[in-house]
Amino acid sequence: MRLFWLEIKRILNSLRTKVLFLFIFALSIIMPYFPLGSVRCISYEDSQGKIVSLNKRETLQCEKKSFLPNNGEVTTKKLQKALTIYQNYKKRYPTEDGENLFYKKDYFKEILPIQPFLEMLPISLKNSKVYEDQNLTKSQLKKLDSFYKQYSQQTNHWIKKKYKNDPKIQKKAMNLNKKIKTPFQLYFGYRAEAFVSLNFFISLLVILCTVVVVPTFSNNYETGADAIFRCTKHGRRRLAIIKIFALFVCLSALYLVAIGLYLFFSNAIFGRECLKTSVQMIFSTLLNFTVGGTQGFFVFYGLFSLLAIISVSLFLSAKCKNSLTAMVISFAICLFPSIVSKFLGGGWLVCLFPSAGLGGFTEEAKNTLFAQLSNDELNFLPFGQTGFWSPYVMMATAAFAIPIFIILAVSVYEKHQMT
């Protein structure tokens, strides 16, 4: 136990570690504000006829305040009411459309509070332009009675279209779709960009932690300290296990504190009540979670991925004779899925890497956990007569990689011979 605490002390006293920890904590406070870039600033005319311009934070608060009466369960009555209000609004400005409607004085009082509902209407009305017709019919309103049924049918249609030759995959995907809880809950404020930013933050966190891990064994090979350690009573297997365990404890604690800080600030910006929102109101997915549950899914995946990359990096550190080689290979493993997915998509080759769901470094990357969770990139990996949803494969791959590469790292270090 004394060796373990000494190793913890050695890790924490390293200048590299201190600088890295401070940098990560700074990122966890700054990056939650990045998704605000997706908020469209608004300007409006006040009662005195003056133009008032709001910044992004003020715009978000204004939108949340406007939608407050509609927070909660998304009922078909709310959708029908939203459609009626929009139709009446359009009748007052028959010659206006698009941007011009956005700047009308009535927009902030009437349309802003129902905007999220208007974005859902095409699901039931099929054609995205149908609800813009000025002649509202009772049949259009009646279609909204079956909104949730049509939402499910639309998703099933997309599944059948994508996997028309794989009935068993169709069945698996449709079973996940059937489990989605309805009616949806909506507490306005949270955005899909917040999940993209969370995915990117986790990716940066994992890569930065690699910098701490890689020198663990290879640095001692370079300095010759390893030869001295091996002359001691516990200088081989036990020392390797203690070093690995100490790194796991330090970096897992760092990850949980950093991600906790990130989510604290992110949820403070968008509103903690948004955690109760059904994730389907943010982006189309087969996950049966709220926003809070989806955040938890990202956190657990990130922890598994971090521990898996640490394990791989430790194996490389034990195998390579210098830190630079181990560092380059570790970074290549972290970035490989993002690069390859641009050309090959998110197949087995990408998903079997422990860093499969990391990325977001380029907009084209299709391997990120967020992209794979989205129905836009719906990805079931075929396996014999069945298939598996890629986010679950990513999670399982990371979990399996941890014990495998820990055992390999200890074994390689124990057998290492100084030249």
Q: What is the pTM of this model?
A: 0.88
Q: Would you state the structure tokens that stand for residue 223, as one six-digit string?
A: 């300095």
* Amino acid 100: pLDDT: 56
Q: Name the percent of the chain lying above pLDDT 90.
A: 28
Is residue 386 within 8 A of residue 169, CB to CB? The reply is yes
Q: What is the pLDDT of residues 280-311, one digit of tens each?
A: 999 889 989 999 999 999 999 999 999 999 99
Residue 124 has pLDDT above 90, yes or no: no
Reported as a pLDDT band with limits 50, 70 and 90, residue 102 is: low
Reported as a pLDDT band with limits 50, 70 and 90, residue 128 is: very low
Q: Would you state the structure tokens that stand for residue 159, as one six-digit string?
A: 């599944």
**154 vs 299, more confident:** 299
Q: Which residues contact 359 (CB under 8 A, 6 or more apart)?
A: 199, 200, 203, 335, 337, 338, 341, 365, 367, 368
Is residue 200 within 8 A of residue 259, CB to CB? The reply is no
Q: Which residues contact 349 (CB under 8 A, 6 or more apart)?
A: 340
Q: What is the pLDDT of residues 169-219, one digit of tens each?
A: 888 889 999 999 988 999 988 988 899 999 999 999 999 999 889 888 887
Hey, where are the domains in the chain? 2-37+191-415, 43-148
Residue 411 has pLDDT above 50, yes or no: yes
Is residue 348 within 8 A of residue 246, CB to CB? The reply is no
Q: Would you state the structure tokens that stand for residue 156, as one six-digit string?
A: 């099933």
Reported as a pLDDT band with limits 50, 70 and 90, residue 401 is: very high
Reported as a pLDDT band with limits 50, 70 and 90, residue 45 is: low
Residue 53 has pLDDT above 70, yes or no: yes
Reported as a pLDDT band with limits 50, 70 and 90, residue 138 is: low
Question: What is the three-class DSSP state of 340?
Answer: helix
Residue 356 has pLDDT above 90, yes or no: no
Lowest mean per-residue pLDDT among 71-75, 86-90, 408-412: 86-90
Work out the mean pLDDT of the chain and round it to a whole number.
83
* Amino acid 205: pLDDT: 93
**H/E run at residue 79:** helix 76-92
